[in-house]
């Protein structure tokens, strides 16, 4: 059984994970400058690592640490990487690595089901895979904190806020009104999207993931399955899929 190193370079942070087959042994979220030091530490703690994959939302503009080439085979996720599903996206070369990984995980665990994956990160993304294991596409909208930053950036007097644990339908102050508009608004968007997909696609599986998934899931009315490791599991599956061909 292979031991795999998974590296997911996001817009703000880097996630590292070690898998033994399908079992997640460890994961950590770090700052980008810490990556090379972290890789060395992982190699020391897990000398059995023999396969690696790196995915970056910024693609070729991210400089891969030289240390990553030192042990075992390295798969760099890009537009030519083999995927475990049929990609029917009209512009496959523009499909983000994060979305590929999420759909790969949906293919692994729910190959013969209709699946909607919702990723609440920097952006809020929706990705749909049908019961024929075909990826059709989805949607992209501003994420939770991006919406707060937009209110601050494009107005003269609105402050820069962070999401508040307690929100009210009728905001009784400026901050309360902003929190109600952003947090409740994004929840209603998610619920409306889920309802629309459920109407058109039977037996729909819904996966909710991303950094803001835990915060938002408590405020959603629908029974949505939250999985914080879904993207990492998808990258691990892409690595195994390519090395087993």
| 89 assigned binding-site residue | yes
At a CB cut-off of 8 Å and minimum separation 6, what does 132 contact? Answer: 86
* CB proximity list for 9: less than 8 A, separation 6 or greater: 32, 35, 54, 55, 56, 57, 58, 62
62 is in an annotated binding site: no
Helix (H/G/I), strand (E/B), else coil: 9? strand
Is 4 a known ligand-binding residue? no
10 annotated among ligand-binding-site residues: yes
Is residue 15 marked as binding?
Answer: yes
Q: Would the annotation count 98 as a binding residue?
A: yes
Q: In a 3-state reduction of DSSP, which class is residue 80?
A: coil
- 128 annotated binding-site participant: no
Q: Is 174 annotated as a binding residue?
A: yes
Give the strands of the sheet with 73-76, arranged side by side: 23-30, 14-20, 3-9, 51-56, 73-76
Tokens of 116: 């909607």
**Could you tell me the two tokens for 84?**
């475990």
12: annotated binding-site residue? yes
Active site (annotated) includes residue 50 = no
Tokens 């898998």 label which residue? 19
Establish whether 22 is an annotated binding residue: no
Is 79 annotated for ligand binding? no
DSSP 48: T
Six-digit token string for 239: 């690595």
The CA-atom distances, in angstroms, between 25 and each of 42, 51, 161, 238 are 11, 15, 36, 18
Which two three-digit tokens encode residue 129? Answer: 């895979």
- The residue from 73, 98, 131, 203 that is catalytic is 98
Beta bridge partners of residue 28, listed in sequence order: 16
11 labelled ligand-binding: yes
Annotated binding site: 8-15, 89, 96-99, 119, 122, 174
Point out the annotated binding site for ATP. 8-15, 122
Q: Could you give the residue numbers annotated as active site?
A: 98
Could you tell me which residues are annotated as the binding site for K(+)? Answer: 119
Binding site for substrate, residues? Answer: 89, 96-99, 174
């Amino acid at each position: 059984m292979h031991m795999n190193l998974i590296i997911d370079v996001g817009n703000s942070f880097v996630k590292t994970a070690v898998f033994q087959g399908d079992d997640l042994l460890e994961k950590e979220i770090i700052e980008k400058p810490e990556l090379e030091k972290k890789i060395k530490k992982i190699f020391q703690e897990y000398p059995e690592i023999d396969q690696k994959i790196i995915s970056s939302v910024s693609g070729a503009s991210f400089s891969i640490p030289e240390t990553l080439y030192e042990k075992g085979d390295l798969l760099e996720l890009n537009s030519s990487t083999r995927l475990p599903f049929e990609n029917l996206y009209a512009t496959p070369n523009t499909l983000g690595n994060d979305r590929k990984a999420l759909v790969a995980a949906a293919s692994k665990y729910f190959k013969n089901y209709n699946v909607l994956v919702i990723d609440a990160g920097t952006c809020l993304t929706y990705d749909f895979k049908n019961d024929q294991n075909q990826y059709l596409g989805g949607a992209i909208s501003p994420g939770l904190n991006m919406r707060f930053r937009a209110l601050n950036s494009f107005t003269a007097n609105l402050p820069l806020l962070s999401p508040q644990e307690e929100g009210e339908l009728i905001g009784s102050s400026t901050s309360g009104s902003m929190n109600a508009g952003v947090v409740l608004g994004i929840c209603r968007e998610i619920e409306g999207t889920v309802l629309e997909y459920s109407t058109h696609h039977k037996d729909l599986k819904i996966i909710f993931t991303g950094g803001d998934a835990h915060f938002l899931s408590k405020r959603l009315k629908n029974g949505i399955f939250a999985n914080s490791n879904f993207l990492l599991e998808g990258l691990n599956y892409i690595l195994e899929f390519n090395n087993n061909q």
